[in-house]
Structure 1
Amino acid sequence: MRDWLFMLNPTDQTMDGDFSSKERVLELAKTAPRREWWLARRRHMAAGDRIWIYFATPVKEVAAVAEVEGKPFEVAGDAEYPWRFPAVLNLKATRALYRSPVPLAALANQHPQGVPLVRDSDLQLFLTHAKL
Structure 2
Amino acid sequence: MRDWLFILDPSEPNLDGKHPTKDRVLDLAKTASRREWWLARRRHMAAGDRIWIYFATPVMEVAAVADVQGEPWEVSGDAKYPWRVQAALNLEGTRALYRSPVPLAAMSNQHPQGVPLVRDSDLALLLSHAKV
TM-score (norm 1): 0.98
For the Cα contact (< 8 Å) 2:60–2:104, is it kept in 1?
A: yes
SS in 2 for 1:48: coil
* Percent identical: 76
CA RMSD of aligned residues (A): 0.7
Instruction: Give the Cα separation in 2 of the matches to 1:89 and 1:58.
Output: 22
Instruction: Give the Cα separation in 1 of the matches to 2:88 and 2:101.
Output: 19
Aligned pairs for 1:16-55 (under 5 A) are 16-55=16-55
- The count of corresponding residues between Structure 1 and Structure 2 is 132
Instruction: Give the Cα separation in 2 of the matches to 1:73 and 1:15.
Output: 17
Partner of 2:86: 86
Instruction: Give the Cα separation in 2 of the matches to 1:13 and 1:19.
Output: 4
TM-score (norm 2): 0.98
Question: Structure 1: which 5+ residue stretches go unaligned?
Answer: none
Tell me by how many angstroms 1:122 deviates.
0.4
Tell me by how many angstroms 1:15 deviates.
2.1
Aligned pairs for 1:121-132 (under 5 A) are 121-132=121-132
Instruction: Give the Cα separation in 1 of the matches to 2:29 and 2:86.
Output: 14
Would you identify which runs of 4 or more consecutive aligned residues in structure 1 move more than 2 Å? none
Tell me by how many angstroms 1:13 deviates.
3.3
For the Cα contact (< 8 Å) 2:67–2:87, is it kept in 1?
A: yes
Instruction: Give the Cα separation in 2 of the matches to 1:66 and 1:59.
Output: 19
Partner of 1:96: 96
2:43 corresponds to which letter in structure 1?
R
Matched, 1:58 2:58: yes
Instruction: Give the Cα separation in 2 of the matches to 1:35 and 1:17.
Output: 12
1:113 corresponds to which letter in structure 2?
Q
Tell me by how many angstroms 1:10 deviates.
1.3
